[in-house]
Amino acid sequence: MQLKLLTTKKEAGDATSFIFEPDAPLEWKAGEYMFYKLPHENTDNRGDERWFTISSAPFEKHIMLTTRFAGDKASSFKKRLFAMKPGEEVEAKGSEGDFIIDEPDREYVFIAGGIGVTPYRSIILDLDNKGAKIKGKMLYGNKDENIVFKEELEEVAKRHPEFEIRYFIGDKHVDAEAIRSAAPDLKSPIFYVSGPEPMVEAFEKTFLDLEIPQENTRRDYFPGYVWP
Ligand SMILES: Cc1cc2nc3c(=O)[nH]c(=O)nc-3n(C[C@H](O)[C@H](O)[C@H](O)COP(=O)(O)OP(=O)(O)OC[C@H]3O[C@@H](n4cnc5c(N)ncnc54)[C@H](O)[C@@H]3O)c2cc1C
């Protein structure tokens, strides 16, 4: 399908959201992603295709992707994406993915590493919009105080007394202790982790060490970003 760029929104730090209108109605589940193809001149060795989570919630109707821009060091794909003007189109396929919520009434621990926050914006706004009681904690690690979607997520958290967002900035990382403190009963919540690939791999080990049942864990990997 073709997605037409409606507008862009500057987010915290080096992140920007791109808001698109699909050329046909699209239904998706909060937490899913799409596959994008953006042909451009002087394509570097990372190519002209990428995956991006849909950071908008289904009730918002538009498709939003949110990503970082590394300036001169950015890939040719990102340079082309960030040069897009409203009205221009990009080809996309999907949606797909299993980083979704099956049981809205469960207790959740959402672990986010930096831009790995994108699926949680969709998931948390969707749960709120559906009138679910959001229960659990979000453990949000970021390299600095430029915390993407901070205000929007806190606005939702205010309406859900059983949901709390804890931040881990700079050298302070989400670790086994932080997980234990967020969920003293490690057997009951569902643990989600989303962020740079090496971070998610590190959490797989932490979950094993904490003896969290594997069926209670979900992962979303973002290749192409360094961590820590
Ligand atoms: C299912 C899925 C969902 C995803 N969802 C998202 C999402 O919602 N948002 C998102 O941002 N990404 C998401 N990703 C990752 C995305 O597809 C890209 O891999 C990622 O954004 C990196 O983009 P890029 O390769 O264009 O690199 P860039 O973002 O341009 O660069 C990435 C890093 O590499 C460094 N770098 C680049 N070139 C050089 C160089 N020559 N020398 C030194 N350092 C360099 C940059 O400084 C930067 O730190 C998702 C991936 C998957 C698989």
Residue pLDDT, tens place only, 183-207: 999 999 999 999 999 999 999 999 9
For residue 36 and ligand 1, the question of a CB distance below 6 A is answered with no
For residue 46 and ligand 1, the question of a CB distance below 6 A is answered with yes
Q: What pLDDT is attached to residue 148?
A: 98
Residue 209 lies in a domain: yes
Phi-psi region of 71 (alpha: psi -120 to 50; beta: other; left: phi over 0): left
Q: What pLDDT is attached to residue 227?
A: 80
Query: If pLDDT is split at 50, 70 and 90, which confidence band does 167 have?
Result: very high
Strand partners, 192: 110, 218
CA 16/CA 174 separation, integer angstroms: 25
Residue 115 lies in a domain: yes
Polymer length of the chain: 228
Placement of tokens 């699909």 in the chain: 22
Whether residue 130 is predicted with pLDDT greater than 90 in this model: the reply is yes
Query: If pLDDT is split at 50, 70 and 90, which confidence band does 94 have?
Result: very high
Specify the higher pLDDT residue, 47 or 228: 47
For residue 222 and ligand 1, the question of a CB distance below 6 A is answered with yes
Q: Give the Å distance between the CA of 2 and the centre of ligand 1.
A: 22
Specify the higher pLDDT residue, 145 or 224: 145
CA 222/CA 141 separation, integer angstroms: 15
Torsion angle, alpha carbons of 148, 153, 158, 164, to 10: -80
Contact 63, 92 (CB under 8 A): yes
Whether residue 77 is predicted with pLDDT greater than 90 in this model: the reply is yes
The answer to whether residues 90 and 163 belong to one domain is no
Domain of 207?
107-222
Q: Give the Å distance between the CA of 115 and the centre of ligand 1.
A: 10
For residue 17 and ligand 1, the question of a CB distance below 6 A is answered with no
Q: What pLDDT is attached to residue 224?
A: 83
Identify the CATH number of the domain in which residue 78 sits.
2.40.30.10
Q: What pLDDT is attached to residue 30?
A: 98
The answer to whether residues 190 and 142 belong to one domain is yes
Query: If pLDDT is split at 50, 70 and 90, which confidence band does 97 have?
Result: very high
Q: Give the Å distance between the CA of 223 and the centre of ligand 1.
A: 6
Whether residue 223 is predicted with pLDDT greater than 90 in this model: the reply is no
Contact 181, 174 (CB under 8 A): no
The answer to whether residues 189 and 211 belong to one domain is yes
User: What sign results for the dihedral spanned by CA atoms 44, 56, 126, 185?
Assistant: positive
Q: Give the Å distance between the CA of 66 and the centre of ligand 1.
A: 11
Q: What pLDDT is attached to residue 228?
A: 78
State the average pLDDT over residues 12-26. Answer: 96
Residue 118 lies in a domain: yes
The answer to whether residues 87 and 187 belong to one domain is no
Residue 227 lies in a domain: no
The answer to whether residues 21 and 71 belong to one domain is yes
The answer to whether residues 137 and 194 belong to one domain is yes
The answer to whether residues 19 and 76 belong to one domain is yes
What residue owns the CA closest to ligand 1's atom 30?
74
The answer to whether residues 79 and 184 belong to one domain is no
Query: If pLDDT is split at 50, 70 and 90, which confidence band does 159 have?
Result: very high
Residue 101 lies in a domain: no
What residue owns the CA closest to ligand 1's atom 45?
73
Out of 67, 96, 125, pick the residue that ends a domain: 96
Identify the CATH number of the domain in which residue 204 sits.
3.40.50.80
Contact 11, 67 (CB under 8 A): no
Residue 228 lies in a domain: no
Tokens of 212: 């969290």
Domain count, the chain: 2
Q: By C-alpha distance, which of 139, 141, 202 is closest to 170? A: 141
Give the global pTM.
0.96
CA 186/CA 176 separation, integer angstroms: 11
For residue 192 and ligand 1, the question of a CB distance below 6 A is answered with no
Q: Give the Å distance between the CA of 162 and the centre of ligand 1.
A: 34
Q: Which of 17, 32, 55, 67 most suits a substitution to test ligand 1, by most atoms within 8 Å of the C-beta?
A: 67
Whether residue 226 is predicted with pLDDT greater than 90 in this model: the reply is no
Tokens of 164: 């709390």
The answer to whether residues 208 and 165 belong to one domain is yes
The answer to whether residues 215 and 163 belong to one domain is yes
The answer to whether residues 86 and 130 belong to one domain is no
